[in-house]
Chains A and B, each alone.
Chain A
Amino acid sequence: MSFLTVFYALLFYAATALMVVGLAVKIRQYARTPAPFKIPTTPGPITRGGVVARLFREVVLFESLFKGSKWSWLFGWLFHFGMLVVLVRHLRYFTEPIWFVALLAQDIGVYLGMAMLAGLIGLLGRRLLVDRLRYISAPSDYLMLLLLIAIAGTGLLMKYITHTDIVAVKAFFLGLMRADWQPLPADAMLLVHLTLVVVLMAVFPFSKLLHAPGIFFSPTRNQIDNPRERRHVAPWASKLDATRAPSK
C-alpha cells in the first residue's frame, strides 16, 4: 500500500467525519433553539402543506432570489443545479452495480458540469464588478468561489484532457467504503481535484455553506401563518407567563 493511498484514505475519512459531525452539531443547535414568535414573511402559507411547498420552491427554484436579483438567480441556479447533476453522476464511483440515476446523469452530466462552471464564473464576476457586492465580500467569499471553480475545472480537465484511470479511482472509493483499501492512481490532476474536495467537505460546517441546512430552519420560511388560530409559546417564554400580570 503506497503512502499516497493511505494518506488520501485517511484524509477522506477525516473530512467525512468532520463534515458529518460538524453538520450534526449545527443542525442540533438549530433544531433545539426555540423560535419564540411566529415570524413568517407574509403573505405566507397557512397550512403545513403550504410550508412544504414554499420550502420546495425556495430549495429547488430559488423563488425569493428570483424576486431579488435575476442575474444572481441565473448564475446561482446554473451552479447549484449543475452541481447536483454532477454529484449524481459521481455516484458511479461509489455504487456497484451503478445506480440507475447515476446512469441517467451520465450523458448530460458533462454539460451540466460546464453549466456549473459558467454559473460560478458569473457569480465571481458579479462579486468583482458590482460595487455593492465588493463591499460586502470577505476574502472567504472569493476563496469559496475559487475553490468550487477549481474543483469543477479540474474535473472537466480530467474528462477532456488529462484522463485518469477511473476504474482504479472507483476501486479506491469502493475500497474506502468497504474498509478494503485499494491503490489510488498518482495523477496530479486527480490529486488536486480530490484535495480540493476534501477541503470543501472539511469547511462545510464552519462556513457559509451552512446555508444548506439553514434554509430548512429559517423561521421566516418554515413557519405556518396561523398565530391567531394556534397559540405558539417557546419553553423559555412560557415561564414568563406565570409572572406576566401587569402592574396596576
Chain B
Amino acid sequence: MAKAEFDTPQLKGIPVIPHLQPGAMAHSRPFVAKAEHQEPLGFPGELVDDWKTKAIDKMGELLTKYRALPVFLDACVKCGACTDKCHYYLGTADPKNMPVARQDLLRKVYRRYFTFAGKHFPKLVGAVELSEEVIEDWYRYYHQCSECRRCSVYCPYGIDTAEITMAGREILAHIGIGQKYSNEIIGKVHKIGNNLGLPRPALEDTLEGLEEEVEEDLGVKIRYPVDEKGADVLLVTPSADFFAEPHVDGLIGYGKVFHQAGISWTLSSYASEAANFGIFIGNYENMQKVAMRIRQAALDLGVKRIVVGECGHAWRVAYSFWNTLIGPFDFLDPKYPVPQHVCEFTYDLLQKGALKLDKAANDDKVVTFHDSCNVSRGSRMGDFPGGQFVIPREIIKASCNHYVDMAAETIHENTFCCGGGGGLLTDDLTELRVKGAVPRMEALKRVIDEDGVTHMAAICAICKSQFTKVLPFFGMGMDMIISVHQLVGDALVLGAEH
C-alpha cells in the first residue's frame, strides 16, 4: 500500500488541531526487513515461532535495563497535554499518532503482563493481551514516530515517546519484524562504514572531484582530505554530504572554514558516516558498534580532535551518547569539547576573529532557520543551556544580512520535526512524510508571505533530504533548503588576514 494515492494537505495559514479520524493512517507501514537485513544486526531473519513469549520476555528485559520505560509507562495520567503536539497527528488526524495513544499501544500490553491492575482488571485499565493485531499496530505506528521528542517538552512528567518507540521497534526486531530501511543501512555501516555503502576508492574519487570543482569555481585550492594520518581534526559527517544537494554545499563550506583557519583535518574512509541509525531502532549493541568505528578511526589517524558535521540525530548520538558508548576520549586534546559540532567549531573561530565573512555575498537571500529536533531537544552546543539555538543563528547572522525566525511555537525547543526523522526517510513512507511536514510548512509559508523568506537553512542531513523532497508538494522550491555552512562558505573571504 506504500504507493497509495493521497491528497497533499492544503496549508491553512493558521495552525489547526484536527478532529480525530480513526484509522486515517492505518495503511501506512514501511517495508519489512528481509533476513539479509536482519541477521547481520543480530536479529532473527523471520517471525520467530514463539513470538508472543519472546516479545513479552524482551519487554520484561527492557523494563529492567531502561528506567525510562517503567517510569513512563506507569506515570502517564492521560492529561492530554501531548495530544496536539505531534506533527504526525497534526498532519494525519489519526488518533494513534497522538503521543499518548502511541505509548498506549505498548502500555496496554505492559499493563496486562506486568501490573497488578492489568492482570486482574484488564478492562478497567485498558489492558490487552498481545495479539497479531497489536503487533501490526506496533509496526505501523512505531514507524509513524520520528523520535523527535516534541511531546516530552510538554509532558508534566517528561514522558518521551521516542523512548517508547525505540522499545517497540527493539521488541519487533527481536521477534523478526525489523524495518528494512534502517536495518539495511545499519548493515552497510557495519560492512563498509557509511549509510550509502560507499567504499574507499569511490569516496576518494568523489572528494577529488569536489576539490577540482571548488578550484574551478574559486581559483583557490581547497583540500578535502581523507585518511590523512596526523591531521589535527577528524571530521565525521553524514555521507549524504558527499553527494546530495544541498548537503554537499555544506561540506564545501566546512572545507573552506578549515582552509581559512589553517587547521589540518581529514575525513576517514573507515568511519565515513556521522549518522547512527542504531538510535532509530533503539538497539544499544548496534548503536555502539556503529559508533566504535569513529573511536577506532580517531585512534588510527592519531587526531587531536573530533568534529561532527551537520546532522541532527548524529549530533544527539555524538553529544549525548558517544562518551557512554565509545569513551573515554582521554587520547584527544582536552582543550576542546569531545565531540565538537562543526557549528561550535566555526562559532569559536568567529569569536576569535579568525574568519572574515562578507554578508553581502548572501544578499540575494532572506534566510530562516529550521531547528532540527534532535539537536534542539536531545543535545546542546556551547557551554550554556540553549546554545544549540544561539550558535547556529549567530553563524547565519554573521553570514547574511537578512534573517528572520519562524513563529515562536515552531522554533527552539518547540520546533517541529521535518517529518522524515527517526528512520522514516524512505520512499515507502512518502505519504506520512508529506503529511508530517505540514506544521513546518505552515510556519515556513507564513514567513515567506510576511517576510519574503527565500531560503530555510538547516543543520541536519535528514531535514535537508526531507525538505528537498516535500517542499514541491506544497508548491515551494526544493532549492529553498540549504546548509548553514553553505551560507558560511559563500560569505567567507578566503585569503583575508586572520
Contact = CB atoms under 8 A, between A and B. Distances in A.
B53 interface: no
B385 interface: yes
Q: Most chain-B Cβ atoms within 10 A of its Cβ — which of A33, A230, A232? A: A33
B320 A39 contact: yes
A58 to B, nearest CB: 7
A228 B319 contact: yes
A131 B74 CA distance: 23
A237 to B, nearest CB: 7
B319 A227 contact: yes
Given A132-B84, A135-B95, A218-B72, A34 B65 contact: yes
Nearest to B63: A33
Contacts of A45: 385
A193 interface: no
Contacts of B124: 138-140, 143
A158 B98 CA distance: 42
A132 B77 contact: no
Nearest to A33: B67
Contacts of B413: 41-43
Interface stretch (A66-74, A82-90, A100-108, A164-172): A66-74
A136 B78 contact: yes
A33 B66 contact: yes
B422 to A, nearest CB: 15
Contact of B67 (A140, A219, A227, A244): A219
Contacts of A208: 74-78
B77 to A, nearest CB: 5
B65 A236 contact: yes
B64 interface: yes
A45 B380 CA distance: 11
Interface in B124-174: 124-126, 149, 152-160, 163
Interface stretch (A9-17, A112-120, A174-182, A209-217): A209-217
Interface size on A, as a range, is 35 or more
A186 B129 CA distance: 44
B393 interface: no
A220 interface: yes
A43 B380 contact: yes
Interface in A90-131: 126-127, 130-131
Contacts of B116: 206
Interface in A221-248: 221, 225, 227-228, 230-234, 236-237, 240, 244-248
B156 A136 contact: no
B279 to A, nearest CB: 9
Interface residues of B, number: 81
A135 B320 CA distance: 35
A197 interface: no
Contacts of B71: 30, 214, 217-219
B8 interface: no
Interface string B60-91: 00011111101110111111111111000000
A65 B78 CA distance: 12
A238 to B, nearest CB: 10
A140 B156 CA distance: 20
A139 B68 CA distance: 25
Contacts of B325: 244
Contact of B80 (A35, A41, A72, A232): A72
Q: Most chain-A Cβ atoms within 10 A of its Cβ — which of B66, B76, B124, B376? A: B66
A62 B77 CA distance: 14
B384 A46 contact: yes
Contacts of A206: 115-117
B495 to A, nearest CB: 34
B153 A37 contact: no
A29 interface: yes
Interface stretch (B28-36, B251-259, B283-291): B283-291
Nearest to B384: A46
Q: Most chain-B Cβ atoms within 10 A of its Cβ — which of A69, A136, A237? A: A136
B156 to A, nearest CB: 4
Given A208-B78, A215-B75, 6 more contacts: A68-B153, A139-B123, A139-B126, A217-B67, A218-B75, A225-B380
26 contacts: A33-B66, A43-B389, A43-B413, A67-B154, A68-B81, A132-B83, A133-B80, A136-B101, A138-B78, A138-B125, A138-B126, A143-B124, A208-B76, A211-B74, A214-B74, A214-B157, A215-B75, A218-B71, A227-B321, A228-B319, A228-B323, A234-B65, A244-B292, A245-B292, A246-B293, A248-B296
Interface of B: 17, 19-20, 63-68, 70-72, 74-85, 95, 98, 100-101, 104, 115-117, 123-126, 149, 152-160, 163, 190, 270, 284-285, 288-289, 292-293, 296, 319-328, 337-339, 376-380, 383-386, 388-389, 413
Interface of A: 26, 29-30, 33-39, 41-46, 50, 58, 62, 64-65, 67-69, 72, 76, 126-127, 130-133, 135-141, 143, 203, 206-208, 210-211, 214-215, 217-221, 225, 227-228, 230-234, 236-237, 240, 244-248
